[in-house]
Chains A and B, each alone.
Chain A
Amino acid sequence: MKVPVQPPHLALRFLQWFCPPSLYEGIEGDLMEAFEEDVSRVGVKRARRKYIRNVFRFFRPGIVFRNRFLIQLIPRDMIFNYLKTALRNFLKHKSFTALNIIGLALGMAASLLILQYVKYERSFDAFHSKAEDIYRIQYNGYHNGELSFECAAAVPAVGPALKNNFPEVKRFTRLFPVSGVVSYESPEHGLLSFQETKMQITDSSVFEVFDFPLVKGDKLTVLAGPNKVVISEKAAKKYFGDADPIGKTITWNGDQKFEVTGVFKDIPSNSHIKFDFMISYPTLNRQTNNESETAWGWYDFNTYVLLEPGTDVNVLQSKWDSYLENTRGEAWKKYNSRQEFLLRPLLDIHLKAKLLQESEPDELGDNDSVYALTFIALFILIIAWVNYVNLATARSFDRTNEVGVRKAMGAQKNQLMYQFLAESFLMNLLAATIAILIVRLAWPTFSELTGRTIPLDFILQNDFWVLVIILFGIGTVFAGFYPAIILSSFKPVAVLKGKVVHNTQGNVLRKSLVVFQFVASVVLISGSIIVYQQLRFMQSTNLGIDITKTLVIKGPGAKDSTYSKKMESFKSEVLRIAGVKSMTASTNVPGDEIYWANGIKRLVGGPESTISGYSVGIDHDYIPSFELKLAAGRAFDRAHTNEAKSVILNKAMTDALGYKDPKAAIGEKVIHGGDTLEIVGVLENYHQMSLKEAVGPLVFRFSPEFSSFYAFKLESNDTRGILAQIEDPWKAFFPGNPMDYFFLDQFFNRQYEKDRQFGNVFTLFTGMAIFVACLGLFGLASFLTIQRTKEIGVRKVLGSTVGQIVLLLSKGFIQLVLIANLIAWPLAWWMMDRWLQSFPYHISINPFLFVIAGVGVVLIAFVSVGFQTVKAARSNPAQTLKYE
């Protein structure tokens, strides 16, 4: 025979790879034979090509899956054996099995919970089918070249300008938030009226841009024409019960009548904007003489545009910027200002936008906290896996004999690996089951803790199970692999001779894993302490304003020309009630976002440009009632009759206006909102909003006629009684207006609600992480202690005291925990300092805190290790030594 021509090597390798070994020889032979025949018939080149084609033809289920089938077929008996021995092993070491399973289950449950929460946070607004192509217009206002505000609401003229000049803009829609008293004369229940805060005046295109499905009514016509309203299912139930709302008439603020033309499905909880009423846009246009179509200065309109799919937003933005520059440049120059209208993705709003006039400012999420939580979830999971690896390798000592015997009986290394993987499979399976149970049971509590009521069916979807399977798979393979390698690599001869193979590599790994666990624990502990300290700091800092014992009632919706008079009479009635110290009416109360913004400028001197600041309309009693401190001048006073020409500023404002001290400002004239006013008083800076915001310049105007909040200072604790007594004059003076009340301190502190929830969640999972880490340490300590039982016995016989032995046994662990502390402190300091920087008023980190966290962790570690070591140290040496 001539030198044989070889078939293509790679194809052969491929065949080898997929072909079941039992079939391989026959198939290869047949292929070879066909190849040899082809070589002589059609030549080497074509024969090789045909060979490759033939190999690929063998790559078919009928061949490939026989492979798996056979593998299952052959070691099936062994798999049962593996599972049986695994189960026996579990039962033999019940406490360790329990430690392992609990640790793994907690780790999985924690990360499942957190990842579901993260998923929810990321799901905001994604329910709109065109969400990817919807952008909200963010309004950035510049004064004198400096950015003075970033606002979620734009001016009404922006939408039409975009739509009419840029073909990529398919549609725009505007939502103008309003509130007020809605009433309905029900044939059965008489007059129903409620304060409604969730109302929007909307373009009818809202149904084209967003997916707010209508249950009743046609989306093309429901909002066409003035005085039409579409209500949510919830509102329909509230006002009309089971009756059909279509065609009914509701009254808004006493004088405006609306026809209900449609009902929309309640807005899902993961929407950044929520409302119960949609009022037709032509209503507003009629009232404002079309200002609400053309105005470029009135920024109260949440504006969204729907772009053609595939539009490059950056290109559109730059075209739009130059369009604005060309058309608005003149007007800007006149006011020394500039306007920027940015297209911002709808999907980014919930986690990334923190603008003024957000629709649901208290519900906004925070990207950083979502990341922080994701990290914690990973930490806990890794800690749990590390536990498993640590315990399993520590136990390898226990099982050397078993491995030795199995090897001597002919077990292959990979068979042993299968065996240990089977164990980790079983362990993870049990843990996953428990984890699912925990998630299912803990969900309501957890979802409440996060402050988001996330429905359970949100989590029990396919991707949840996929996640479970992924965690389970990673746990089985990765956590199981290392111990499997270690255990299966013992040399049978050495093992059976009784030589204990001390694996120093394994020791180093185990130690670094323990260090890692405790670095994570210390970082988490000091983190949660700092989060709480910052929260306490924000809630306990003197605001400069007294908001305690303050009851607030929302002012009546309808205001007519007699309103100021009625309010004064109401006030004198209320002040007669025992327990009411004072009452003040104002446009805003502390903690309520101010929407009234105006430019202010000195009549003579001062900075050239106008300063923009928020304005509060107050009455005579606001300053004494809230115990605000005057830096100079006086408060609004009944003795002065022309207070409408006076103004009070805060110190931040006089500073901004360039007065060298508050006294210098008194008697000066300023122009505010077109009026020339005399500064009569300057207030010391106080926190109108939470400590999460820097104190800004404020303007106080005397305008009780616009007041929408009545704040009552109470002297007695009988709020129920006082409320009942206020109700009579309220009904007498403001009939048809519901009396909605709240307590100012609670209202103010709700600004910290999100931070508090974050703190709670953070602490909960910190606790879990530490618990899981301690479980691991506990298990590790007890195993290593058991290994040294004999040594302890000998030491005791030779005269060691219990204390010495405990020290000896714990020393190693405590050393590791101390090292962990040294690594964790700078890490925690760096991370928490970054977090604190996001608050304008924040605590400084006290280094002593790390010592506390460190000592705490050392103590916890000592307790979990000590439990075992003390037991071992106190054991009677006669007992432990007599079997040798």
Chain B
Amino acid sequence: MGKEYLGEFEELVLTMVGILQEEAYGNAIVTEIKERVGRDSNLSAVHVTLYRLEDKGYVKSGMGGATHARGGRRKRIFTITNAGMAMLRSMKESRMDLWKLIPQLKMVGY
């Protein structure tokens, strides 16, 4: 098999998991996406994406502590794995490589 490929939304969610660290759970990610990218995302879509990322081994999950909010339900906290970080990095790098190949940007650049 070739290299694993991440979809655009998957990459976004994975990045958010990296950003939020200890506070990365479904609702928080939805809010974070809204705040930082200004994009409305659906809770169920975020969940499904998280589980898919978990299947691919880019995040892992565990149950957080109980709180009084949320009707006493625990949060499922996701943390990014090394493989996830490596994936994000390699995606960023390959994008940068491509970026540099666009000619007029070179001319406008420093």
On A, residues with C-beta under 8 Å from B are 1, 4, 23, 25-34, 36, 54, 57-58, 60, 62-63, 66
**Are B63 and A58 interface neighbours, CB within 8 A?**
no
Min C-beta distance of B9 to chain A, whole Å:
12
Question: Do A57 and B44 contact each other (CB < 8 Å), given the known contacts A25-B63, A30-B27, A62-B51?
Answer: yes
Q: How far is the CA of A54 from the CA of B63 in the complex (A)?
A: 22
Residues 59-81 of chain B, each 1 if its beta carbon lies under 8 Å from chain A, else 0: 00101000011110111100000
**Are A27 and B70 interface neighbours, CB within 8 A?**
no
- Chain B residue nearest in CB terms to A54: B43
* B34 CB-CB contact with A under 8 Å: no
Residues 5-41 of chain B, each 1 if its beta carbon lies under 8 Å from chain A, else 0: 0000000000000000000011100100000000000
Q: List 25 contacting pairs A-B, 8 Å CB cutoff, sorted by A.
A: A1-B68, A23-B51, A26-B26, A26-B47, A26-B75, A26-B76, A27-B26, A27-B47, A28-B71, A29-B73, A29-B74, A30-B43, A30-B47, A33-B27, A33-B69, A33-B70, A34-B27, A34-B30, A54-B44, A57-B42, A57-B43, A58-B44, A62-B47, A63-B47, A63-B51
Query: Inside 8 A of A27's CB, which chain B residues have their CB?
Result: 26, 47
Q: How far is the CA of A27 from the CA of B74 in the complex (A)?
A: 9
Number of A-B residue pairs with CB-CB distance less than 8 Å in the complex they form: 68
Query: Inside 8 A of A32's CB, which chain B residues have their CB?
Result: 70-71, 73
Query: Inside 8 A of A54's CB, which chain B residues have their CB?
Result: 42-44
* B48 CB-CB contact with A under 8 Å: yes
Query: Inside 8 A of A1's CB, which chain B residues have their CB?
Result: 68
**Are B70 and A29 interface neighbours, CB within 8 A?**
yes
Please name 7 further chain A to chain B contacts, defined as beta carbons within 8 Å, in addition to the given A1-B68, A23-B76, A26-B26, sorted by A numbering: A26-B74, A26-B75, A29-B75, A32-B71, A33-B27, A57-B44, A60-B48
Q: How far is the CA of A34 from the CA of B31 in the complex (A)?
A: 10
Q: How far is the CA of A28 from the CA of B69 in the complex (A)?
A: 12
Q: How far is the CA of A4 from the CA of B69 in the complex (A)?
A: 10
* Contact with A26, one of B45, B63, B69 (Cβ below 8 angstroms): B63
* B52 CB-CB contact with A under 8 Å: yes
Query: Inside 8 A of A62's CB, which chain B residues have their CB?
Result: 47-48, 51-52
Query: Inside 8 A of B61's CB, which chain A residues have their CB?
Result: 26
If over half of B's interface residues share one DSSP class (helix, strand or loop), that class is named, otherwise mixed; here it is: helix
Min C-beta distance of A227 to chain B, whole Å:
74
**Are B71 and A4 interface neighbours, CB within 8 A?**
yes
- Chain A residue nearest in CB terms to B61: A26
If over half of A's interface residues share one DSSP class (helix, strand or loop), that class is named, otherwise mixed; here it is: helix
The 6 closest A-B pairs by CB, nearest first: A26-B76, A29-B73, A62-B48, A30-B26, A57-B44, A29-B70
Q: How far is the CA of A824 from the CA of B10 in the complex (A)?
A: 70
* Contact with A63, one of B27, B30, B48, B75 (Cβ below 8 angstroms): B48
Min C-beta distance of B42 to chain A, whole Å:
6
Of A33, A34, A62, most B-chain CB atoms within 10 Å: A33
Q: How far is the CA of A34 from the CA of B27 in the complex (A)?
A: 7
Question: Do A28 and B48 contact each other (CB < 8 Å), given the known contacts A34-B27, A57-B43?
Answer: no
Q: How far is the CA of A54 from the CA of B30 in the complex (A)?
A: 13
Query: Inside 8 A of B25's CB, which chain A residues have their CB?
Result: 26, 30
Min C-beta distance of A807 to chain B, whole Å:
68
Residues 95-107 of chain B, each 1 if its beta carbon lies under 8 Å from chain A, else 0: 0000000000000
Of B42, B63, B70, B76, most A-chain CB atoms within 10 Å: B70
Query: Inside 8 A of B51's CB, which chain A residues have their CB?
Result: 23, 62-63, 66
**Are A25 and B74 interface neighbours, CB within 8 A?**
yes
Q: How far is the CA of A57 from the CA of B48 in the complex (A)?
A: 11
Min C-beta distance of A136 to chain B, whole Å:
59
Q: How far is the CA of A58 from the CA of B48 in the complex (A)?
A: 9
Query: Inside 8 A of A57's CB, which chain B residues have their CB?
Result: 42-45
- Chain B residue nearest in CB terms to A36: B69
Q: How far is the CA of A4 from the CA of B72 in the complex (A)?
A: 11
Query: Inside 8 A of A33's CB, which chain B residues have their CB?
Result: 27, 69-70
Q: How far is the CA of A27 from the CA of B25 in the complex (A)?
A: 10
Min C-beta distance of A57 to chain B, whole Å:
4
Query: Inside 8 A of B43's CB, which chain A residues have their CB?
Result: 30-31, 34, 54, 57-58
- Chain A residue nearest in CB terms to B42: A57
Query: Inside 8 A of B26's CB, which chain A residues have their CB?
Result: 26-27, 30
Query: Inside 8 A of B44's CB, which chain A residues have their CB?
Result: 54, 57-58, 60, 63
Question: Do A36 and B70 contact each other (CB < 8 Å), given the known contacts A57-B43, A58-B44?
Answer: yes
Query: Inside 8 A of A25's CB, which chain B residues have their CB?
Result: 63, 73-74, 76
Query: Inside 8 A of B75's CB, which chain A residues have their CB?
Result: 26, 29-30
Of B43, B45, B52, most A-chain CB atoms within 10 Å: B43
- Chain B residue nearest in CB terms to A31: B43
Q: How far is the CA of A63 from the CA of B61 in the complex (A)?
A: 16
Min C-beta distance of A556 to chain B, whole Å:
82
